[in-house]
Structure 1
Amino acid sequence: MGVIEFELSRVVPAGIADVFARLADIERYSDWMPVKGSMLRRTRQTSPGAPGLGTTYLDDTSFGPTPGEISEFEPPHTLVYHWWDKTKKGTLQLEGWPAYRLEATDEGSTLVHHHAEVRTYGMYRLATPVLRRIAVKERTATLEALAMSFGAAERATG
């Protein structure tokens, strides 16, 4: 197994409850995620009800459909997604955990700590260095889009 792990941080010009709500609202990701610079095409929730622990979703990406679920849900501070990619025979190839830890700032903004972990299996282990570059680019684009959705134009730091 190969492991990719990194942390990015970003100040988002909105209150912590608003930032958490935007990150948790799977059906509205297409409203604020970047059209260019991202492999994500659309995200849709596949389980009923409001997002919460165990909520399932499907990401339509440039690499194909990727299912996932919310694995941690503690409003308004912690949100962790878990996604996976399997072969047609059900063998795990890739899985990831994009995690968001939110802190309110004195200025009314939110400091977003974004921890990303991706594990590669089988032949995908060989692609771990390339997949790391893709993951950092994708996660950086996500944080930038999140901040821009609230009106910020600064760049993410890592």
Structure 2
Amino acid sequence: MVEKRTAENKRKVELKTRPNNSSVEAFIAGVEDEKKRADSHELIKMMRRVTGEEPVMWGTAIIGFGTYRYTYANGRPAEMCATGFSPRKSALTLYIMPGFSAYDGLLSRLGRYKTGKSCLYIKRLSDVDPDILEELVDRAYRYMKDRYPD
């Protein structure tokens, strides 16, 4: 039997990815893979530099920087981090919220990666050019802040 998604169930799912007061340091300390922990610290340094924001836990597994507010077609407002990442087991997942269509030139020079709609998947930071990655995050973050001013 397939459970129908009620409005309350949808709301519960959506509430998981909200900013909270959980410790970013404690979260990273819990990452089993030592290299992923080190890469996470490097990503935090880079994203702080690019955004001027402090890292905040979003839900249980996303480290976000900055926010943007938007409205669904039904008129309901929502909020998400403007950029961020998660040290997932399979890969470091970076959230490039505007997607990748405007960044083909950067991606061609980035290194080894995969993409989803707004996710950049990297096995290790050593697989990519750090300067190109920083430029990609910077451009995407600036786009989000311009498109969705507070």
Structure with higher Rg: it is 2
The structure with the largest strand share of the pair is 1
TM-score (ref. length: structure 1): 0.30
The structure with the largest helix share of the pair is 2
TM-score (ref. length: structure 2): 0.32
Structure with the bigger RCO (C-alpha within 8 Å, sep 6+) is 1
